[in-house]
Structure formats: C-alpha cells, structure tokens
Copies of this chain bind each other. A is one copy, B any other.
Amino acid sequence: MGEFDLIAQFFQRPAGQAVLGIGDDCALLQPAPGRQLAVSSDMLVAGRHFLPEVDPLTLGHKALAVNLSDLAACGARPVAFTLALALPEASAQWLEPFARGLFALADAHQCELIGGDTTRGPLNICITVLGDVPVVQGRSAALLRSGAKAGDDLYVSGTLGDARLALHCLHGREILPSAQLAAARVRLETPTPRVALGLALRGVASAAIDISDGLLGDLRHILRASGVGARLDTARALSLLGHGRNTADAALPQATRLACVLAGGDDYELAFTAPASARTAVEAAASRSDTAITRIGRIEAEPGLRLVDGQGQALPDSYASFDHFA
C-alpha cells in the first residue's frame, strides 16, 4: 500500500464544513465573521504517551481526545483537525481500527479531518485542532488560565487518578480487581474530552485548564497565570478516584491514591474556577452539559498551593507534575 492509497483508503472522506478538505497543498476554512479561532497541537509518541501494544481503536480515540480537551479548556467549539502520522509500516490491520476510533470521536464532535501528512518512522501521532470562539461585546469568550480571582471556587470535572492507577496496574506496580481495572483502563485509553462542559462554562468560569500532567501541576499553571494561590481539599479530590469506588474496595495505600489523584496525569478533566456568586450558574452548566463536577477548593490571594485534609489540617505538597524532560 502506497502513501496516497493509504490516505484514500483510511482517511479521505467527503468534505463537510470546510471549503476544501484533504487532497490539495492546504485545506481551506471559511471562519465565521467576527469569530476567533482556537488552535492547539499535541503529539503522542509510542512508549511515552501510550503502550506500543495498545489497541489502535482506542489510540485513534485518545489522539484526538487529548486535543479536543485543549479546545474544551478554552471553551472552543471543535471545527477541524489535521493529522500527521509517522508509522513503522503501512498496516491495514492497524490503520483500519485507528481510523475508526479517530473518526468516531471526530464525528461525535463534528470535527472534520481536513489534512495532514503520512510518513514512515517511529510511531508518532501529531494532531492540530482548530476551534471556534465567539467574541461577545468586543471580548473573547475563550476561557483562559489567567482569570482566577481570590475568593473564586475551584472545581474539577469527572474523576481523577484512574488513568494513572490503570497505568500502575498495567506496569504491574498495583493490583486491582479486574472490574475496577477495566473501568480505570477506560479512563486511561478512552478519555472523554469535556467539550460540552467547556462550552457551557463560557461566561461562567473565570479560568480553566485541562488536566493532562496532573491536577496540582496543571492547577499551578492557573495560579501562576492568574497571580493567585489556592487551598485544595484533598479529601474531596480523593473522593474522585473511580468516583470513590476504587478507594473503598481496593484497599489501595493512601499514598498511592493521593499520588494518582493529585499528580497522576492523563485525566483530561477540566480544572476551573468561578466566583462563589456563580455557584448556581456553575451547577447549571454542569447539568446542561451532563458532566459531573466537584468543588475541591478555593482561590486565595496568597500565592502558593495549600493542601488540606478533610479536617482542614495542612498536608505537605511533594507532588511533581509530569515533565517529559525533568
């Protein structure tokens, strides 16, 4: 199978909203007048971001999901994406399920593949997503990291730590009952980008980020960009591991549970802040987007991140966020 057959067979589909899709030197989009364009790129490398033996169906999903998660964190509506793919070989057995997983998620978000590149090389998937953001009364409606204010509530969506816990199990470092491992593994391999929540939080949240490198590390990006600090209730955060189920059943050590929840990474949930006066609006946004959210702390004027347990007692913060080069 040659390069162009590969593209034609697995990736070329009728153009959707794009003026011009796959097949020329560039794709062409016609942005709606007065809207902003959100752009993000994420690269996934075999052995770093996923196990080489991972099911290509879930890998196709995840490669796009991590990018959609960035759009979600900005409150941007997905529009289109490019896919650059380095493959050790052109195997239909791998490409067919990969494309199926990719397009299932793309179609669910009406996000169109408009171009890209294919080449031989160590397995590497690089996706660039493009999203749409309105401008309201002259101001961008995008959610940024820099808008958190002292007194704001701090929330996260969904669950935390399950992806890391699954990875520990796959590496043989922890043992979970098989049903729990299966549930955790879904969170690792087919994360749900919180696009609907991000859209619902426009005009409500003061700041947002997606949790890819671990809650504390990503939260620190909000604190730094906003020039504030935060107090975080670790008991509430802990309750988000498997929605509390793993905690109760698996008798995992507390240190493992805390580490997975606070610094696990690969969660692709949103961490966001909103004024305390907006609690009703936040709940309505969560409900409208059918997404669970949990209030886990508060933004404070004093810089730094303060971890407390369920009784309000200070806990040491010794959690490093994931860093590819540290």
A residues with a Cβ closer than 8 A to B are 1-4, 6, 19-20, 23-31, 33-43, 45-49, 70-71, 73-74, 76, 80, 82-87, 89-90, 114-122, 124, 126, 128, 130-131, 133, 135, 140, 142, 144-146, 208-210, 225, 323-326
Closest to A90 in B: B325
The 3 closest A-B pairs by CB, nearest first: A45-B121, A126-B126, A25-B73
Question: Assuming the A-B contacts A2-B323, A325-B1, are A26 and B122 also in contact, with contact meaning beta carbons closer than 8 angstroms in the complex?
Answer: no
Chain B residues near A142 (CB-CB < 8 A): 20, 26, 28
Question: Assuming the A-B contacts A48-B119, A119-B45, are A40 and B20 also in contact, with contact meaning beta carbons closer than 8 angstroms in the complex?
Answer: no
Tell me whether B120 and A41 are in contact (CB under 8 A).
no
Q: Can you name 22 A-B residue pairings with CB atoms under 8 Å? A: A20-B142, A20-B144, A25-B70, A25-B210, A26-B142, A27-B39, A28-B36, A29-B37, A33-B33, A37-B130, A39-B80, A41-B82, A41-B83, A41-B84, A43-B124, A43-B126, A45-B119, A49-B119, A86-B124, A87-B325, A89-B325, A118-B325
Tell me whether B26 and A30 are in contact (CB under 8 A).
no
Tell me whether B43 and A117 are in contact (CB under 8 A).
yes
Tell me whether A133 and B82 are in contact (CB under 8 A).
no
- Shortest Cβ distance from residue A94 to the other chain B in the assembled complex, whole angstroms: 13
- Shortest Cβ distance from residue A145 to the other chain B in the assembled complex, whole angstroms: 5
Tell me, in angstroms, the Cα distance from A30 to B121 when the chains sit together. 35
Tell me, in angstroms, the Cα distance from A36 to B20 when the chains sit together. 10
Chain B residues near A76 (CB-CB < 8 A): 26
- Shortest Cβ distance from residue A235 to the other chain B in the assembled complex, whole angstroms: 28
Tell me whether A140 and B19 are in contact (CB under 8 A).
yes
Closest to A29 in B: B37
- Shortest Cβ distance from residue A305 to the other chain B in the assembled complex, whole angstroms: 16
Tell me whether A6 and B40 are in contact (CB under 8 A).
no
Tell me whether B33 and A34 are in contact (CB under 8 A).
yes
Tell me whether B26 and A115 are in contact (CB under 8 A).
no
Question: Which of B40, B85, B114, B135 makes the CB contact (< 8 A) with A26?
Answer: B40
Chain B residues near A135 (CB-CB < 8 A): 30
Tell me whether B3 and A326 are in contact (CB under 8 A).
yes
Tell me whether B126 and A84 are in contact (CB under 8 A).
yes
Tell me, in angstroms, the Cα distance from A142 to B167 when the chains sit together. 47
Tell me whether A42 and B117 are in contact (CB under 8 A).
yes
Chain B residues near A146 (CB-CB < 8 A): 24
Chain B residues near A74 (CB-CB < 8 A): 24-26, 28
